[in-house]
């Protein structure tokens, strides 16, 4: 028979969202990549502590979400009555572990008050965004918070830590990633209600087709910003990145135009294309920053 702790961990991590776990790490890598591209010396120890800090916060947040959704209300005659308290203790444990790398960050003499303020804001958003009330307005706020945090705040924190001023490269990357993340998150809400049969107030209020049009407009604007960046930096690697983005965008728009005919399978394909487009954005920028 499995131990209760092992059983609880299996339940928790069966609900674990790997994509949302990886996003903060990608955001840190983008920020550090901009620092690296600007020929600044990178403090590896500070980078490791930052990654550990956000890792523990993210795991703790997802465990707490599991506690709220699955175990917050006690079930009468539950076969495992201790799981409710154990899941809460597990969330507190991971939140507590985040103090260890954070204390190391505080001891670094190069850390400025501005960087700590930015880190506090981004960490607060990372902790609370999943627990915002499920109304249409609050869902819109939540989507903006997620996209803003991962595309702007966390990378900006890295720039401030390493005393690097905001530059054109950072502005371009943060704007593009913000728009692509925003489009992806809105489409994910549509998938929640249309495919997974979950509740989504924003889709119920605005409607599936209008939201799909909004997603298309957002992604077109993001691709347009990439095109403008290409005109300013006509390098081979930027050209490849832009044309790859335009290729995915063409597939996405073509799939959207045939969505009425393809139905739910078409929506699933559209979601996969948008996911690939988002992955291509992060992967493309990371390659541009770290290897080319």
Nearest by Cα to 195 from 274, 135, 271, 273: 271
The residue written with tokens 């890295």 in the block is 158
Of 39-48, 224-233, 239-248, 274-283, minimum mean pLDDT range: 39-48
Which range in 31-40, 109-118, 128-137 is most confidently predicted, on average pLDDT? 31-40
pLDDT per residue as tens digits for the range 135-156:
788 888 889 999 999 999 999 9
The domain at 167-292 falls in which architecture?
Answer: Up-down Bundle (1.20)
DSSP of 8-73, one letter per residue?
HHHHHHHS--HHHHHHHHHHHHHHHHHHHHTTPPP-HHHHHHHHHHHHHHHHHHHHHHHIIIIISS
The answer to whether the beta carbons of residues 11 and 66 sit under 8 Å apart is yes
Q: Where are the domains of the chain?
A: 1-164, 167-292
- Confidence class for position 69, pLDDT limits 50, 70, 90: confident
What pLDDT does 81 receive? Answer: 57
E strand or H helix that includes residue 186: helix 168-194
pLDDT at 80 > cutoff 70: no
Of 4-18, 102-116, 184-198, minimum mean pLDDT range: 4-18
Under DSSP, is residue 200 helix (H, G, I), strand (E, B) or coil? Answer: coil
Of 3-17, 28-42, 120-134, 207-221, minimum mean pLDDT range: 3-17
Q: Which two tokens stand for residue 142?
A: 């939540």
- Confidence class for position 82, pLDDT limits 50, 70, 90: low
pLDDT at 70 > cutoff 80: no
pLDDT per residue as tens digits for the range 185-240:
999 988 888 888 777 788 888 888 888 999 999 999 999 999 999 898 888 888 89
Nearest by Cα to 281 from 21, 18, 23, 16: 23
What pLDDT does 207 receive? Answer: 85
pTM of the model: 0.88
What pLDDT does 18 receive? Answer: 86
pLDDT at 109 > cutoff 80: no
Q: Which two tokens stand for residue 151?
A: 């595309």
- Average pLDDT (247-268) is 84
The residue written with tokens 């960050």 in the block is 105
- Confidence class for position 285, pLDDT limits 50, 70, 90: very high
DSSP of 122-144, one letter per residue?
HHHHHHHGGGS--SHHHHHHHHH
The answer to whether the beta carbons of residues 176 and 222 sit under 8 Å apart is yes
- Confidence class for position 264, pLDDT limits 50, 70, 90: confident
């Amino acid at each position: 028979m499995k131990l209760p702790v092992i059983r609880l961990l299996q339940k928790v991590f069966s609900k674990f969202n790997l994509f949302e776990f990886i996003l903060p790490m990608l955001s840190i890598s983008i920020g550090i990549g901009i620092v690296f591209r600007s020929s600044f010396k990178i403090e590896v120890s500070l980078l490791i502590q930052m990654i550990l800090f956000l890792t523990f916060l993210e795991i703790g947040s997802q465990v707490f979400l599991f506690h709220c959704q699955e175990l917050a209300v006690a079930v009468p005659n539950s076969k495992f009555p201790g799981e409710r308290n154990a899941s809460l203790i597990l969330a507190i444990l991971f939140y507590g572990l985040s103090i260890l790398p954070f204390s190391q960050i505080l001891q670094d003499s190069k850390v400025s008050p501005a960087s700590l303020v930015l880190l506090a804001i981004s960490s607060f958003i990372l902790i609370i965004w999943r627990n915002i009330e499920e109304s249409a307005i609050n869902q819109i706020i939540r989507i903006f918070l997620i996209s803003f945090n991962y595309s702007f705040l966390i990378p900006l924190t890295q720039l401030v830590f390493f005393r690097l001023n905001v530059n054109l490269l950072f502005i371009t990357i943060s704007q593009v990633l913000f728009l692509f993340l925003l489009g992806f998150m809105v489409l994910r809400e549509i998938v929640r209600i249309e495919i997974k049969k979950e509740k989504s107030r924003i889709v119920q209020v605005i409607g599936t087709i209008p939201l799909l049009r909004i997603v298309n407009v957002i992604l077109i604007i993001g691709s347009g910003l990439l095109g403008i960046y290409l005109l300013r930096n006509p390098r081979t690697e930027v050209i490849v990145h832009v044309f790859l983005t335009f290729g995915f965008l063409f597939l996405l728009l073509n799939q959207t135009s045939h969505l009425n005919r393809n139905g739910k399978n078409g929506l699933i394909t559209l979601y996969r294309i948008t996911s690939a487009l988002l992955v291509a954005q992060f992967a493309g920028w990371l390659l541009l920053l770290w290897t080319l």
